[in-house]
Amino acid sequence: MNVGSKDKSEDKVDGKVRARRYALKYNPPSVVLEYADSVKTRLRTVKLLELNATSDVERLTSKVIRSFPRQLDRRTVNREQVKRLVVRLVEKAKNGATVDLTDPNVDLNKVSQTELKQAKEIMDEKFLENQKLPGQDGFEYDVQKNFAPAEEPNEWDSSDDEAYGSDDEFAI
């Protein structure tokens, strides 16, 4: 055996798989477990989408541990270490939003679930402020508008009809 290499037989304890190490992802809030059997190293990501600044750390820690694979030897799972990781995620949530959610140029695909929910609430409020209902001043039924053709070239919706033949020809 090479110095510094790990014997794969150490990865199984009584036929069960061993936990190796943990990691955190802040967006979306997740705890990642690396575990190994005698054949392969695997990752299990547990997303905590409902996590917020007032989340119950003990409940979330239990949820994370319960979601680990059944064949995992629970003696190799360090509950205190998982709890510390969950505390770090909750602390990050307490620090508040890191993105200006009122900025129309913010990419909502890259924000946390909590920030996305807040952004949607802001959008709903703005929509309700601008909404015109029947009977209100400024309400118009069935508004139709004509738009000028595009000034810049856009090839995404143009097709070469010659390349495909006429509309009357079909190839089956």
Q: For residues 96 and 114, give the distance between their C-alpha atoms in angstroms, rounded to a whole number.
A: 10
pLDDT of residue 5: 39
pLDDT, tens only, 114-152? 778 888 988 899 999 888 899 998 888 888 999 888 888
Of 27, 43, 24, 169, the C-alpha closest to 112 is 27
Q: Rounded to two decimals, what is the model's pTM?
A: 0.50
Backbone angles phi, psi at 44, to 5 degrees: -125, 120
pLDDT tens for residues 44-85?
888 888 887 788 899 998 888 888 777 777 777 888 888 999
Helix H or strand E encompassing 22: strand 16-26
CB atoms within 10 A of CB 134: 7
Q: Any idea what DSSP says for residue 31?
A: E
Torsion-angle region of residue 96: left (phi > 0), alpha (psi -120 to 50) or beta?
left
